[in-house]
C-alpha cells in the first residue's frame, strides 16, 4: 500500500461531470470518486440550489506507484476526447501524504439523510438523532462508500423499503460497509460482506464494529467474479460495483439469490445498462424497478426462476 497519493481533479460542466466521474471510477483507488457540485444560496443561507453556471469539480486518488504515470496519461487522453463533447478543464494533480489523503475526503463528507429514516453520520461529526432515525456511524477510511454518491443512495433507499426482519443478505463489493450496516440496522438477521481489497476490508470490519453489528456479519476478502460459491442462500443480494464487474459476476450473484429474492445492482453507467439487463435476464433475473441520477443507473431485480 502506497504511503503517498496523487489527487487527480478536473472541472467540467454539469453535462460532462457524470462522464468524467465514470472515467475516474475506472482508474481511481477502490473506484472512489468525489463530485463537488457548486451550490448558490441567498445571503442569509436559505434556498440552496445547484448552480448550473459554475463548473463541477470531480476528484479521485491514485497510489503513487510504478503505474501512476501511465494512468495519468490514460486519463489525459480520455479527458481530451470528452472535451470534444463538452466543457472539460485541465487535469490538476496534487501529491498527498497518507494522512493528508484521508483528511481530504473528510472535508466534503457531511451528515446526510437518505430516504425516510437513514442518516449517515461521519464518525468525526456530532448528530442528535430524531426518534425514528436509523443512524449509520461511518468512517470510510481507505474504502469506497460514503453515502454521497447517487449509486449508494439508490441502494440505501431500496434497502430501507424492501428489507424484512430476519433476511439473510449478501453485500458483494462491500467497500466501507455502508450497505451492510444499513441492512442489519433495518432488521436483517445476517450479512455476508465480500470485499476485494484487504485494506478496505479492515475498514469494513471497523465500521461494522462501530455500529454494533459485527457479530451478525461475516467479512470475506475475495473477488465476487471468482470467490462467491453460495447457492440460493440469500434473501437480498447487493452489488454496488461497476457494470463490467456486475456482468462478469452475474452467474454467481444470481445463483446466490433464492428464487423470488431481490437483487440490487448499482454503479452502472447509463450506456452499459442494456448490457447488464440482458446478462441478468438470460440468467433468470428480471428488472422490476430502476433509478437514474445523471448518467448513473441502479436496478432492482427479482430472481424469477432457478
When the pLDDT of each residue in the chain is averaged and rounded to a whole number, the result is 86
Place of cell 456530532: 126
Mapped onto helix, strand or coil, the DSSP state of residue 223 is coil
pLDDT class of 62 with cuts at 50, 70, 90: confident
pLDDT in tens, 115-137: 899 998 888 888 898 899 999 99
Q: Is the pTM of this model over 0.95?
A: no
The mean per-residue pLDDT over the stretch 263-272 comes to 91
Q: Where are the domains of the chain?
A: 4-106, 112-303
- For the domain made up of 4-106, the CATH class stated in words is alpha beta
At 36, is the pLDDT very low, low, confident or very high (cuts 50, 70, 90)?
confident
Q: Using 50, 70 and 90 to split pLDDT, how confident is the model at 39?
A: low
Report DSSP letters for 52-110, one per residue.
TTSPEEEEEEEE-STTHHHHHHHHHHHHHHHHTTS-B---EEEEEEHHHHHHHHHTT--
What topology is assigned to 112-303 in CATH?
Rossmann fold (3.40.50)
pLDDT(284) > 60: yes
DSSP label at residue 241: S
Amino acid at each position: 500500500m502506497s504511503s503517498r497519493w496523487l489527487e487527480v481533479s478536473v472541472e467540467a460542466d454539469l453535462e460532462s461531470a457524470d462522464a468524467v466521474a465514470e472515467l475516474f471510477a475506472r482508474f481511481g483507488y477502490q473506484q472512489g470518486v468525489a463530485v463537488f457540485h457548486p451550490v448558490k444560496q441567498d445571503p442569509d443561507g436559505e434556498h440552496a440550489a445547484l448552480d448550473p453556471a459554475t463548473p463541477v469539480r470531480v476528484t479521485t486518488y491514485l497510489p503513487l506507484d510504478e503505474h501512476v504515470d501511465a494512468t495519468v496519461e490514460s486519463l489525459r487522453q480520455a479527458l481530451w476526447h470528452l472535451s470534444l463533447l463538452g466543457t472539460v478543464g485541465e487535469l490538476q494533480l496534487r501529491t498527498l501524504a497518507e494522512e493528508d489523503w484521508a483528511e481530504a475526503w473528510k472535508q466534503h463528507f457531511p451528515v446526510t439523510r437518505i430516504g425516510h429514516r437513514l442518516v449517515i453520520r461521519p464518525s468525526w461529526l456530532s448528530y442528535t438523532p430524531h426518534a425514528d432515525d436509523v443512524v449509520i456511524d461511518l468512517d470510510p477510511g481507505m474504502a469506497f462508500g460514503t453515502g454521497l454518491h447517487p449509486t449508494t443512495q439508490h441502494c440505501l433507499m431500496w434497502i430501507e423499503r424492501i428489507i424484512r426482519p430476519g433476511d439473510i443478505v449478501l453485500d458483494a463489493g462491500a467497500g466501507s460497509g455502508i450497505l451492510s450496516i444499513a441492512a442489519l440496522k433495518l432488521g436483517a438477521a445476517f450479512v455476508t460482506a465480500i470485499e476485494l481489497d484487504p485494506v478496505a476490508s479492515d475498514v469494513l470490519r471497523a465500521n461494522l464494529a462501530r455500529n454494533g453489528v459485527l457479530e451478525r456479519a461475516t467479512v470475506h476478502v475475495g473477488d465476487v467474479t471468482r470467490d462467491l460459491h453460495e447457492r440460493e442462500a440469500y434473501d437480498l443480494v447487493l452489488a454496488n460495483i461497476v457494470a463490467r464487474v456486475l456482468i462478469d459476476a452475474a452467474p454467481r450473484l444470481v445463483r446466490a439469490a433464492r428464487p423470488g429474492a431481490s437483487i440490487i445492482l448499482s454503479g452502472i453507467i447509463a450506456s452499459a445498462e442494456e448490457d447488464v439487463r440482458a446478462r441478468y435476464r438470460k440468467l433468470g433475473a428480471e428488472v422490476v424497478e430502476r433509478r437514474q441520477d445523471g448518467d448513473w443507473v441502479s436496478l432492482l431485480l427479482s430472481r424469477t426462476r432457478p
